[in-house]
Structure 1
Amino acid sequence: MELSMHCPTQSLVLLGICLGLSACAAKTPNYPAPPLFASTVTAYNPSVVPLAPSARPVPVAPMVIPQGVQEVGSDLIGEQDLLDIAVFKVPDLTRSVRVDAQGYITYPLVGKLRAKGLRPAQLEAQLAKLLEQSYMHNPQVTVLVRESTQNRITVEGAVRLPGVFPVVGSMTVLQALAKAGGLTEQADNRRAVLLRKGPNGQVSQQPIDIAAIRQGRLQDFTLLQDDRIVVQDAIYNRFTVSGAVGQPGVYPLKEGMTIMQAVATAGGMTRLANKYKAMIFRRGLDGREQRYAVNLDAIYRGTSLDPMIQQDDRIVILEAREKVIYDEALRFVGPVTLF
């Protein structure tokens, strides 16, 4: 005759084994809880451009708007712009002229005239005034900007359509990224760089947290003429889940992913999982690893917020000691045979 757990003798045996195994079980150290929304705050010093955890930070200059530099989409004439100038019923004065590096044009009967910084209508008025003074009565002058070498921005790196884009009207970083087809799956939306050339030719760098701009926590940058945006590849755009989950492994990290979503991606918790204490191992830019404890049960019941995970986080779902002990005891005792 075989009996299962209804036999008092077997219950005593099982209780003794459980007590013995529990005495040998190691206690889990207590670690602090992770920042609730760690991945929604700037995770790096805004005075440096962090390329990767193993890379040395690149110092950058503070981002300022240099004097004499215009926003993209401005209708102001700039250096190297190509202008179409026409005078009504005077074909000899209809021609294309290019603004030189100093911002001047050379035009018949007028000579050298500064065009940089003027709007086409302002240049029309100046040309008409100079022509009327000595050569003709009430000239009708038209100025069109055929090519604007300054009214452009460059977007490169981890975007779908990298390239140089002409701009009409003002443009921000997010609008420029949209024009470039958006980010690729390999893009690091927290580490882009805005490169800006000043009047003296020196290039300054500004780190951009694209995710923070999208979430409204950072103001979207207004671009200037000839700005360049570089979106970096996410070298560590992944996370690892191990321990008491259905499918432990390494998974791609999606924007805004939380620890509960990460656990679900790994197949959910097994029956031996300790839902009261999971561990997050997170390595900072200095290479040091920080450990955090997470109460998954509290998150599930809504009494605790679900923290977001970061790039290269390692999540370990611990096994509950009492569940493991009970499971081991069942396997050790097995069915009891009585005669």
Structure 2
Amino acid sequence: MMKIRSHAPLLFMTVTILISILSFSLQAMASDELFQPTIPQRVLQPVSVNARAATLVHVPETTIVPAHKADGPEYQLGAGDVLKITIFNEADLSGEFKVDGIGKIALPLVGNILVGGKTLRQIETAIAAVYADGYLVDPSVNAEVLNYRPFYILGEVQNPGSYPYVEGINVMNAIALAGGFTYRAKEDDFLITRASNVNEAKQAFGPDAVILPGDIIEVQERFF
């Protein structure tokens, strides 16, 4: 009779090996998860509109003080202005005239006439009235400014003094013409004496303020 050989020991050994391999794999996976470095995630916090607005820096607007334009109808003439006076059909009476230190010009036939502190329209009316008084019949007069009187800048600038007036010039332009500030200069506001109001106190103006012929600009010294 043939004997049947039992395979139980071999089967038991195979199962044991498989269990060992499976156990080792599970331990390795657990170890990887345990020691895997954690990458921190940046959490973005929502920023509200109000929070952003709070970071804005408020820059105050420069206040520009209105002034009559030099070529406007309200400009008042003064010493140093040069006028061109035209009396129609009277070439001998027309010409260029400079306003003297007391605000007068010398006209042919009629002599000195006060023009300081007057506008061009007022001067035209005054000259026409003078010539109509025994010299001309219904004279027609036109007056215009050929050259404006200079302005003056004093105080903490490199080259204080008088400078030719240019239409539309402002305080910062004037300071640039004078070579810029000194290291002691106060650079945010300035004192101006208007030529048309020399009897009034100095007024504070910002850097964009328009200046007029004859104005006196003072750049002050800062205290710190």
Question: Which TM-score applies when normalising by structure 1?
Answer: 0.34
Structure 1 or 2, whichever has the larger Rg, is: 2
Question: Which TM-score applies when normalising by structure 2?
Answer: 0.48
**As a proportion of its length, which structure holds more strand?**
1
